[in-house]
Amino acid sequence: MATKANTRQVYRQSNTGYSKSADTRKAILRAAIVAFGRAGYSAATTRQIADAAGVNQPAINYYFGGKDGLYQACAQEILDNFKGPLEQVSLRALEAIGAGLDRKGAARQLQELLSALAEVMILSEEVSEAAGFVGREMREPGLAYQMLYRNLWAPGIELAAALIAIVKGRAEVEPADRVDAIMMISGISAFAPGHSVSMQVMQWQAAGKDGKALVLERLEAQILGWARTPAPGG
């Protein structure tokens, strides 16, 4: 997959005034998010995606200019439509930080953030396909990496790290807080659908509500551990 700097081309828009193009575009995007998220860029073929969307293969070039354009459009679609729940929680946490937040409050916000993340990554079937796409791009940076890094990953990790620092009794974020944030998020991702090893070890068909609750309980134990430590230089 070419990772050269590519300006994002928009081919067939969804605002042509014609009745069908928006539906067709959406169907292709949905099918593509699933295919790319599960199989990856190389293994997902434009014919498979077209079949799954109920169109034929040249429609992909017509609407998105080709496989590359479709891939990037998937990332944009995810940013536009699927990060809503996380965005709300993030805004609330940022407001609370700005208004001054004590350790207990920060622990509560952090738990809400991680809970929303777990909800997205573990429980929601449709959002979970988008999360699959995002997770894969994270591990195998391609055309959508910069877009997702700037708009999703870096803000999320920094927010979690800021909350962690406050829980620990500090105002400034340190490298250790970022490491903790990354590890927590990575730990949650181990229970997302398709993580066969975790499911097999736990003997779960899927994590489900109970699995999510258990994961969050383990994270809460850690957060409470931090909240109980004496503040540094205090």
Partner DNA sequence: AATTATTTTTATCAATTGATAAATATGTAT
Partner DNA sequence: ATACATATTTATCAATTGATAAAAATAATT
Q: Which residues contact DNA (rule: CB under 7 A)?
A: 12, 16-21, 24, 44-47, 55-63, 66-68
**Shortest spacing between CB 198 and a copy of itself, in angstroms:** 5
- Of 80 and 217, the one with the shorter C-beta distance to a copy of itself is 217
Inter-residue contact 185 to 117 (CB < 8 Å)? yes
213's contact among a copy of itself, DNA, none, with CB below 5 to 8 A by partner kind, is none
- Least Cα distance to 171 among 95, 98, 76, 66 occurs for 98
Distance between CA 107 and CA 93 in Å, rounded? 11
186's contact among DNA, a copy of itself, none, with CB below 5 to 8 A by partner kind, is a copy of itself
58's contact among a copy of itself, DNA, none, with CB below 5 to 8 A by partner kind, is DNA
Q: Give the count of alpha carbons within 13 A of 4, CB side only.
A: 2
DSSP 121-189: III-HHHHHHHHHHHHHHHS--TTHHHHIIIIIHHHHHHHHHHHHHHTT-SS--HHHHHHHHHHHHHHH
Inter-residue contact 133 to 226 (CB < 8 Å)? no
**Shortest spacing between CB 100 and a copy of itself, in angstroms:** 25
The residue type found at 206 is: A
**Shortest spacing between CB 212 and a copy of itself, in angstroms:** 11
17's contact among a copy of itself, DNA, none, with CB below 5 to 8 A by partner kind, is DNA
231's contact among DNA, a copy of itself, none, with CB below 5 to 8 A by partner kind, is none
**Shortest spacing between CB 76 and a copy of itself, in angstroms:** 19
**Shortest spacing between CB 24 and DNA, in angstroms:** 4
Tokens coding 117: 């993340």
56's contact among DNA, a copy of itself, none, with CB below 5 to 8 A by partner kind, is DNA
Interface contacts to a copy of itself, rule CB under 8 A: 1, 39-43, 138-141, 145, 149, 153-154, 157-158, 175-176, 178-180, 182-191, 194-198, 200-202, 214-215, 217-218, 221-222, 225
- Of 53 and 188, the one with the shorter C-beta distance to a copy of itself is 188
Distance between CA 218 and CA 222 in Å, rounded? 7
- Of 63 and 193, the one with the shorter C-beta distance to a copy of itself is 193
- Burial class from Cβ neighbours inside 10 Å (0-12, 13-18, 19+) for residue 98 reads exposed
